[in-house]
Structure 1
Amino acid sequence: MTGELLTKIYDLTQGNTDFLAKLLMLAQRHAIWEGIDSVTPAVLQQVYDNQMRLLHKPIEALRSGDPLQIADFEDMMPTKDQIVQMMNYDLARRANRTHLSLIAQAATKPAEPAEKPATKLASKPVVSVAKEPAPSAHFSKGEDLQAQLERRGWVDKDSAW
């Protein structure tokens, strides 16, 4: 193998072994089909241009070295980078939720303590207390139950029920 051939192979695959295997397999098949004795940089370029069109964008992303372009092709990212990307996505999602809750909290005006003079405690009970003894909670057995309920105000005479 010549240096020129190695440079061409690296340029067309960017060191990705899957792309390398595909390029060499397609180049050998092309050379056999066309009756070419050897695989040259020109043959590799022709195979790349004609038979590997789907891989042009991912290889260009690798060639650029830009992590944002490479991130568009998740399956090409190294495992460690994929984990970092997933964790960053999760952190960004949580931060977005926190940001929204902070906005909601900021939208409500905080309660300001009003300075009121101390009020004098009332001597009257808060709950009204009947001056007469409470009626028995039990019903007498001899009387009509309906009449007892009406007398205590638990049942309305004009009720549609």
Structure 2
Amino acid sequence: MTASEISLSNQHAAMVALNEQRKRMRLEVLDLEQISGVSASAYFAWMAPIRSARHARSPSFLCLVAIAETLGFQVIMRHANGAESFVTTPTAVMTVVNAERRARRWTFADCGRKSGVSEATYYPLARGKRDPRLSTMVAISAALDFELILVSLN
């Protein structure tokens, strides 16, 4: 990983980086809300880990991507073999994950067991029917040797 990359498995570091960039851009949270479409209250809830880990809440993947793109970041998915994909939706992540899952001949249940995500949660994600939390996407990706990474474009 380079200095401009932050693993999304470390939500705290990612949120700090996004918040620091927001401040460098001199964007108020309400301005960020207007530009990204992500509510200020959700943004403040994600920032809670900066103040107190007890109150941490994982953002939805789509909202995280919207904030990241507004602040000049992109999200990539990197496999342990070095292959990368630019991802902007849970469906994009799950397309890559499901291709790897099928290549390994894993069932949804196998992937759920390895990731700690229940099959009842995994199945609708695989079908593009839910916007998962970042923590869920990180867990599923990691089970198949992928890492979700926040990359600064600046």
**Shorter-chain TM band:** under 0.3
**Higher gyration radius (CA):** 1
Q: Between Structure 1 and Structure 2, which shows a larger proportion of strand residues? A: 2
Structure 1 length-normalised TM: 0.25
